[in-house]
Amino acid sequence: MKAVRVVGLVLIVWAFLISGVANAQGYYHIVQPGDTLWDICEKYYGDPYLWPKLWEMNPFVTNPHLLKPGDKIRLMEGYPFKEGVAVKREEAQKPELTPKKPWWEHGLDVSGLTNVNSMGYLSGQKPTALGKIISTDSKRKILAVGDIVYIQEMGAPLKAGTPYTVYECSELVNHPLSGEPLGYIVTPLGRIDVLEKTSGGLYKAKVAKNYEEFHVGDTIMTYREVSPCVRPVDSPRGLESRIVAVKGQRKIVGQFNVVYLGHGKDRGILRGTLFRIIKERSLVDSGPQLPELTIGYVLIVDNFAETSSGVVVMSTEGVPNGALLRGMKWEEAPRYLGGLPACSVE
């Protein structure tokens, strides 16, 4: 008996829906000049005396007799429309979906890969030493943050309140393949802040940062800040270069090692350029040429007119100094680089 009642109820509801008598929920009226709630109730329901109930449905209306053209009046629930009346149904508002940009179209924070301020660079000439650390208040052999040091100028006067870089410069390095002289590897060791000039003609300074260990006797040069936020840049078509030197003058390079290229802005190499590291294969007799094999990637983090500094972001085997680099597009980059923190590039 209960099943019969349920079936009967379903049939009644279905008959109501297909009879053309629709519930007003989700329907609305756009106010035209001269409209009143009285007129709207007459138009849709055939009963103008329903206007107080319609007013309750639309509390934003301040005067039921003076409606603002263009306003949307929500029609009442539970009252059937007049037969043949045209009503507008309110469409569901779909959220506007902003297409998600690829991960390589924002800045990438590379501070987890390397300390960008201690990467150093390859220079054709030795940098100009501005001063030399000649003593310290500390008894430590290796200077640490907070230590007070005394500097002797080596040319132009130093400026109080100005930061300077403590650095070391390598001996002349040669190209790993041709043997031709390349230049010098300049490695920042830390930062000191000059406080004041003393009565003895020296400069009192404070150690502000240590990248690597440094001591009394090390020299200072102009301070240069490198941002860890790198904007990915697609390589120009056909761009090639080589690793020509390695920080620490390593012979075999691995992941996170810093490398130097013998080209820079002169070849279109910018901060954010990504290279494949190519394993070159020698041909045997006149057999078929073997395909290129990518054994790693180098990301350029700092660049100059004729040289660049990069970090090996991935390697599948030891990379030799002198390895061939081939520029690439970021859409082909290894996926794990997408896990680097996003940052805002100024």
pLDDT at 91: 60
What does the mean pLDDT of the chain come to? 86
Alpha carbon distance, N-terminus to C-terminus of the chain: 76
Residue 277 to residue 261: CA distance in whole angstroms:
12
Residue 258 to residue 116: CA distance in whole angstroms:
10
Q: Which of these, 205, 184, 215, 186, lies nearest to 117 by C-alpha position?
A: 186
- Is the pLDDT assigned to residue 290 strictly greater than 70? no
DSSP calls for 91-159: PPPPPPPPPPPPGGGSEEE-TTT--GGG--EEESSPPPP-EEEEEES---SS--TT-EEEEEESSSPP-
Distances (CA, A) of 345 to 122, 230, 232: 25, 7, 10
Tokens describing residue 135: 């003593």
The 10s digit of each residue's pLDDT in 323-339 is: 999 999 999 998 889 88
pLDDT average, residue stretch 228-255: 94
pLDDT at 23: 40
Residue 42 to residue 59: CA distance in whole angstroms:
20
Report CA 325 to chain centroid distance, whole Å. Answer: 24
Distances (CA, A) of 71 to 28, 74, 87: 10, 10, 15
Residue 119 to residue 260: CA distance in whole angstroms:
9
What SS3 state is found at 256? coil
Amino acid at 306: E
Distances (CA, A) of 244 to 169, 293, 308, 344: 16, 20, 10, 31
Fold of 229-343: Elongation Factor Tu (Ef-tu); domain 3 (2.40.30)
What SS3 state is found at 2? helix
Contact, 279 vs 295, CB < 8 A?
A: yes
Contact, 340 vs 109, CB < 8 A?
A: yes
The 10s digit of each residue's pLDDT in 10-54 is: 443 333 333 333 343 478 898 888 888 989 998 998 888 888 888
- Residue identified by tokens 């053209």 is 69
pLDDT at 1: 45
pLDDT at 204: 96
pLDDT at 9: 41
CATH 3.10.350.10 boundaries in the chain: 2-89
Share of the chain above pLDDT 70, in %: 87
Q: What's the half-sphere exposure (Cβ side, CA atoms, 13 Å) at 302?
A: 21
The 10s digit of each residue's pLDDT in 67-120 is: 888 888 988 877 888 888 877 776 655 555 666 788 888 999 999 999 999 999
pLDDT average, residue stretch 212-233: 95
CATH 2.40.30 boundaries in the chain: 229-343
Report CA 304 to chain centroid distance, whole Å. Answer: 22
- Is the pLDDT assigned to residue 66 strictly greater than 70? yes
- Is the pLDDT assigned to residue 217 strictly greater than 50? yes
- CATH 1.10.110.30 is held by the domain 2-89: no
**Cα four-point dihedral sign 230, 234, 237, 238:** positive
pLDDT higher for 203 or 283? 203
- Which of 111-115, 217-221, 290-294 shows the lowest per-residue confidence on average (mean pLDDT)? 290-294
Amino acid at 344: S
Tokens describing residue 36: 């009143």
pLDDT at 274: 98
Residue 77 to residue 71: CA distance in whole angstroms:
19
Tokens describing residue 297: 């990637």
Q: What's the half-sphere exposure (Cβ side, CA atoms, 13 Å) at 23?
A: 7
The 10s digit of each residue's pLDDT in 138-189 is: 888 899 999 999 999 998 899 999 999 999 999 999 999 999 999 999 999 9
